[in-house]
């Protein structure tokens, strides 16, 4: 049985994962309008992945005797200025999500809820991967700068990253 404090914290994380899905969906749409199909596909895939992260939490809360609540979401930005700025925001967002997961783990230890602590270890590992991926992509984008040819090649190559992450993605 989940404590009320942990149930509330998990519900907050459900909202964060749902908002993450929306952020990446908005980035996908912006990239698609800019003509970069590879980047758009990468972001659409990440949007789907974040939704699966949310569903996994919803099922867990309900199975542990809590009530997963679906709340209002903040609308994401729809303009990003440049791909460098967009990927910097993606990286910063992943850092934010990692902090949130770490705070959840801390609450688990305070509440002595070792089952939830164990459950959250998947999210801890996932965030390490997400941060590393976002940092790698951001580094590549910064390396390209304003080189249109480099951006074209990156857009093509990012589809491979998208396919690889989809193949190893989470199962709800």
Question: Tens digit of pLDDT for each residue in 45-62?
Answer: 999 999 999 999 999 999
Domains and CATH numbers, the chain: 4-167 (1.20.1260.10)
Distance between CA atoms of residues 57 and 159, nearest Å:
28
User: What pLDDT does 166 receive?
Assistant: 43
Lowest mean pLDDT among 63-72, 99-108, 162-171: 162-171
The model carries a pTM of: 0.89
Question: b/e for 46-66, b at 16 or more Cβ within 10 A?
Answer: bbbbbbebbbbbbebbeebeb
Question: Is the pLDDT score of 167 beyond 90?
Answer: no
């Amino acid at each position: 049985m989940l404590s009320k404090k942990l149930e509330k914290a998990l519900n907050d994380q459900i909202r964060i994962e749902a908002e993450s899905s929306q952020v990446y969906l908005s980035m996908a749409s912006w990239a698609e309008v800019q003509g970069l199909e590879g980047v758009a596909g990468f972001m659409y895939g990440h949007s789907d992945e974040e939704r699966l992260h949310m569903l996994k939490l919803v099922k867990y809360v309900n199975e542990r005797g809590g009530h997963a609540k679906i709340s209002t979401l903040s609308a994401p930005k729809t303009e990003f200025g440049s791909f460098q700025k967009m990927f910097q925001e993606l990286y910063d967002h992943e850092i934010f999500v990692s902090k949130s997961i770490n705070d959840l783990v801390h609450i688990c230890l305070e509440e002595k809820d070792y089952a939830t602590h164990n459950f959250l270890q998947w999210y801890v590992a996932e965030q390490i991967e997400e941060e590393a991926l976002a940092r790698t992509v951001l580094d590549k984008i910064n390396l390209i700068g304003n080189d249109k040819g480099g951006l074209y090649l990156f857009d093509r190559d990012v589809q491979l990253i998208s396919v690889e992450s989809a193949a190893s993605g989470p199962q709800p």
